[in-house]
Amino acid sequence: MKKIFTLMLFGLAAIALIGCSSDEPTNTTEGDSTQQTTETQVPTYTEKQENPYIDGGNIVIWVGVESEEFYQGVVNDYIDEYNANPAYPYYYPHTIEVRAVDGGTAAGVFLDDPAAGPDILSVAHDNLGRLIAGSPAISPITDQTLLNQINSQNTEEIVKVITGDSEGVDYVFGVPYEAQSLVLYYNNKYLNEEDVKTWEGIWAKAKELNKQAVAVTGIDGFNNSFLVLSSFAETGEMPVSIYEGGVLTNTELVNDGMISIMKWGQRFFSDPNGAGEASDSGWEVDLANEAILSIVGGSWHFNAATSALGENLSVAVLPTYTLTADDVYGTIEAGTVMQSGTFADAKMFVMNKRSPYLQFLQPILTYMTEKSIQEASFLENGTLPAYKNAITEFDGMSGDDILTLLAVSQIKMFEHGIPQPFGVDARYNFYYYQKQGPEKLFDILVNTDGAFSTDAEIIAQMEIVEAIWRNNN
């Protein structure tokens, strides 16, 4: 792989040499005048040899299938640059192997047998709770160079959700490198950029064409979260609260804003030309057959959406919508504009606590997640960088191709989203996703069996879901 960039390995030299030379004997003579200098001299080594003090091994890294080749090239570059650095007397002692795994199941597979797991693995940040539950299976980040890079490259919100408590002390456990959020995929044969600014615009065009405005790709609490995570367009404030500050009881679903949102959502989902699930054939077929005009989806839906629509595919941020007199409840006024929301998440690298190579892993992670590497990954694989200033600093973000549009739309959705707040405690993910909460909310939207036709019926169902989230049910 062509060198992506030349990292200043001198900056990592102190870290790496600690690991490489911790068992080496020293050979200096006290009082030697040649050692008395006013400045620290960095020795240079033009002829290198294998390190006699370290038994070489194989460092294994798990990444998603789409990134295996790219990151193998990155770590190859890391070793090449290490070996070319005249500040090091020895060649890099280990090989580094990148292996492709299913990103959705990697954390679970690792936890089944950490001793047989990789040294570094990629996981979604919301897995943190179960990775550090009880006796943590992963090691915290302790290297100050890497911690500084994490803090400078990521938003405060992302840093919070990669931080966890171990024995009463907060540690950063993950190193973000990719991000993801929900966006709107739409058929530009029928919808233009003005139409997709609002759900009402898409809805009106769907009525005109007698098609369905939008399909959700799933009714789970992630893919169908755009209403629950809505915010007031004027202030950016979300009516919903979900485990704020990592506290179970800092959770609220039932309030005037959320009731109004659910009432609007019921109008949208109950209309045959509004929102809904895909047909039994699947959203991909419905999109290709032009039965639906758009979907709410993530980057993992891009390839299928492209196959369905080809050059007719466009991407945008999720639309706004306006609450009417039929929707508003309590203190909320008719005409209030809401912005659809999303979970805005990060994928991160974590270190296996049982790795025999722990002292070597943090310099590797510093190299692999530097913002220049994130930009190169975007250009090569279309992966969304986690770097907070990517949209303004990365030259690749200025293009007008569909992959760039996807990346820019996702980054813009970070302004209207929150990271999944489940990493603090392994139970939170279960409470939010696995106890029928999403299904009960969807019942309100489609008014299952006509059971949610009044404000009182809607509120009663929302109270049940709120209790599920708080584990009070």
How many Cα atoms sit within 13 Å of 325 on the Cβ side? 0
Q: For residue 192, what is the domain's CATH number?
A: 3.40.190.10
> Which tens digit of pLDDT belongs to each residue from 92-151?
999 999 999 987 788 889 999 999 999 999 998 988 988 998 789 999 999 999 999 999
Do residue 153 and residue 271 come from a single domain?
Answer: no
Do residue 258 and residue 374 come from a single domain?
Answer: no
Do residue 363 and residue 222 come from a single domain?
Answer: no
* Closest residue by Cα to residue 447 from 267, 296, 225: 267
**Euclidean distance between CA atoms 431 and 299, whole angstroms:** 26
- How many domains is the chain built from? 2
* Residue 98 belongs to a domain: yes
Residue 122 belongs to domain spanning:
10-19+42-179+345-398
> Which tens digit of pLDDT belongs to each residue from 262-299?
999 999 999 999 999 999 999 999 999 999 999 999 98
**Predicted local distance difference test score (pLDDT) of residue 3:** 42
Buried b / exposed e along 191-217 (16+ C-beta atoms within 10 A): beeebbebbbbbbebbeeeebbbbbbb
**Predicted local distance difference test score (pLDDT) of residue 105:** 82
| Across 378-392, average pLDDT | 89
DSSP per-residue string spanning 398-435: G--SHHHHHHHHHHHHGGGEE--TTSS-HHHHHHHHSS
**Tokens at residue 359, please?**
């002292």
Residue 40: pLDDT band (50, 70, 90) is low
Helix or strand or coil: residue 384? coil
**Cα dist. 186→62, 156, 214, 330, 331 in Å?**
33, 32, 9, 34, 34
* Residue 411 belongs to a domain: no
Compute the mean pLDDT over every residue in the chain, rounded to the nearest whole number: 89
* Residue 313 belongs to a domain: yes
> Which tens digit of pLDDT belongs to each residue from 312-348?
999 999 999 999 999 999 999 999 999 999 998 889 9
* Residue 259 belongs to a domain: yes
* Residue 201 belongs to a domain: yes
**Predicted local distance difference test score (pLDDT) of residue 14:** 38
